[in-house]
Structure 1
Amino acid sequence: MALTSLKARVKAATSDEPTVESVTVAVPEQSAGEQLHTTAQGDGGTLTDTAMTWLERYGADFTAALPSHINVAQFLAAVRDLMPKLIRCTPASVRQSLLTCARFGLVPDGVHAVIVAEGRTAVFIPMAQGYVRLMMNTGQVGTVRRGMIHENDEWSYEPSAPAPHDFMHRPNLLGDRGEPVIAYAFCWMKSGERSQVELMTRAEAEEIRDEYSQSYRRAEDSGAKNSFWHTHFNRMWAKSPLRRLPKTVGMSAAIVALGRAEEAGDAGEVQVIHAPVEDTVLLVEAEVQHARAEASQAPEETRPRPLLRKRSQPKRSPSRAARKRARR
């Protein structure tokens, strides 16, 4: 039976019960991508060149995922710059994170999106400008304003005043601005209306990080302190007010999906399932590859073992005494 809706396809990818489509997906014991490091070392080539050659084999997938104004060459050129940092990640997670990025029409150029290594897993993280791009793509938004207020800047906020007199920010460009104290974002709609101004202090950003970011907690617990919240706190802080805007202006489903994909990556889930994807086989493959990648990284003693089956004993003919008892 064919799966006709996106909801059904996502269910097929995450369900424990295989569907007709999921049964037909063949996953080899070791794909060409999983042999990436061995092949590079054996051929004497660089890992980056080998990885890019492997990714180019999926050019048709990236072409199908990317919007028409972004070509595969442009996309992969940005990927090449990232590859040295991702070379220890599992190939399955690299491909999935890049496909997720492509399906949102973003380039991993460090401005609109980045792909980072969380252990051996590659994770797609949209940046503030990535959210701005999707907001502008809705056709409802005229301009998006965002910024950071520093200690020595001039600013005022009066929520009860009518827009645009309720908020003012004048950066101190000729002197020492001091440390950032507040991040903000708002947008003007094409209808002429302005959204609510979203402001966030550093303490609020830290509270969001501590409560919701699983990658931050993992990095804290391990002592690595290498999550994106650790290494790029101000960028994550500046993005947080933008993520609140759709709640007040009601934008497109793609923006909501972008937030969910980011949360999935933070939680260690397969992000491509949360992206606007219409390919059942890709969804199922993503789940299988993700499970395999996680199992390969787990300590041997914690890996799932096959269930022991009780051996079936051959049937024996009832003894003469048993036959007598049965007749009584």
Structure 2
Amino acid sequence: MALTSLKDRVRAATEKPTVPVVRPAEVVQDATPDELRAAEQAEGGQAADTVMTWLEQYRSHFTKALPSHVDADTFLAAARSALPGLARCTPASLLQALLACAEQGLLPDGRHAVITAEGKIAVFIPMAQGYLDKMYRSGRVASVHIGLIHERDEWNYEPSAPSPLDFTFRPALKLSKADRGPVILAYAFCWMTSGARSQVVILSREDAEEIRDEYSKAYQRAEESGTADSFWHTDFDRMWEKSCLRRLHKVVPMSAELVALAKVDDAGDSGQVQVGYAPPAEEQQLAAEAEEAHERAEDGQGDEDTRPRPLLRKKSLPRRSQPIRTTRKGRKKAAKNRR
């Protein structure tokens, strides 16, 4: 039976994955702290080489999953740098996380996306830069502005004022980061290719914590287990920015790719399988055509050939003719005429 879907290929590839076990550094006897760290680094490098050799068996899977603008060599080179921290993850989860990352066209380089370990499970997490890349690829967004506001920065937010006077921000760049004070707000907005500016999204620390507590299953699992190793624990500010950017998606036109990225992000946070969320090529084409039509309507182009055309309506079928009721005399006459 042919394996047509990505999920089928992943399932077949991960039924009995076999990766050689690397001797852990903890068993090094009578080692100084420096020697132990050196052993751990050597272990990580050896484990990465071993896993890369294993992943090469599935190069064709990555090639099929990756979009045309990312080649498998670049992707696997970026993945290798993340492998030392994933030595305890199950091979099946590592392969699925990397395939989900490839399917979204992002590099697991720590900037666009990361592959992190939750216990023994590897999880793909798109970062803010990955969302930005998807927004730019839609062709509707000219520029995106996202950042953090410190306590001593100059800023003003007046939603009732006309754009762009409703939001002004002057970071106190002459001060050191410590002197600027703690981060108090995150902001995000974008300029569209049509020249319009989106709504400004502002998130306070309290807003970010509410989002974390309500929606992040990874944070809840880390709290319950006492490991405190989720990204909300280790890199709160980056997750704060990412939450602000995701909320911006609700007030700007979203492409099929952005919807798919949000879905795979939520799936990973909930502990679900992340592969299989990339929109089909036909869906991407339809979404692109819909966005183009919407942009033409926004621009108010008057050329009749470029105006959005009305939806075609299904033609109504003619009603089936009803039998004509006749008298016995009429039926006899009709039968005689047929003869």
> Normalising TM by the smaller chain, what interval?
0.7 to 0.9
Cα deviation 1:243-272 (Å, max 9, x = unaligned): 012211121021111111111111110011
Cα deviation 1:188-219 (Å, max 9, x = unaligned): 00001111000100000001101111111111
Aligned to 1:246: 249
Larger Rg: 2
Matched, 1:37 2:40: no
CA distance 1:77–1:29, shift in 2 (3 Å):
closer
* Count of residues in correspondence between the two structures: 258
Aligned to 1:178: 181
Matched, 1:274 2:257: no
* Unpaired stretches in structure 1, ≥5 consecutive residues: 14-21, 279-328
After superposition, where does 1:1-328 map in structure 2 within 5 Å? 27=12, 31=16, 33=17, 35-38=18-21, 40=22, 46-175=46-175, 176-276=179-279
TM-score, structure 2 normalization? 0.71
Q: Distance in 2 between matches of 1:160 and 1:29?
A: 55
Amino acid at match of 1:197: V
Counterpart contact for 1:103–1:277, Cα < 8 Å: no
Counterpart contact for 2:256–2:279, Cα < 8 Å: no
Cα deviation 1:169-203 (Å, max 9, x = unaligned): 11001112111100010110000111100010000
Counterpart contact for 1:103–1:276, Cα < 8 Å: no
Cα deviation 1:266-325 (Å, max 9, x = unaligned): 1110011333479xxxxxxxxxxxxxxxxxxxxxxxxxxxxxxxxxxxxxxxxxxxxxxx
Q: Distance in 1 between matches of 2:233 and 2:68?
A: 35
Matched residue of 2:276: which SS?
helix
Q: Distance in 2 between matches of 1:226 and 1:51?
A: 23
The Cα of 1:27 is off from its aligned counterpart by: 4.8
Q: Distance in 1 between matches of 2:162 and 2:220?
A: 41
Q: Distance in 2 between matches of 1:217 and 1:181?
A: 24
CA distance 1:193–1:211, shift in 2 (3 Å):
same
Amino acid at match of 2:54: W
Aligned to 2:326: none
Amino acid at match of 1:273: G
CA distance 1:97–1:198, shift in 2 (3 Å):
same
Counterpart contact for 1:104–1:276, Cα < 8 Å: no
Counterpart contact for 2:163–2:197, Cα < 8 Å: yes
Matched residue of 1:79: which SS?
helix
Q: Distance in 2 between matches of 1:126 and 1:208?
A: 17
Q: Distance in 2 between matches of 1:163 and 1:243?
A: 21
RCO higher in structure (CA 8 A, sep ≥6): 1
Q: Distance in 1 between matches of 2:76 and 2:148?
A: 32
Amino acid at match of 2:198: S
Matched residue of 2:76: which SS?
helix
Give me the CA root mean square deviation.
2.6
Q: Distance in 2 between matches of 1:25 and 1:99?
A: 8
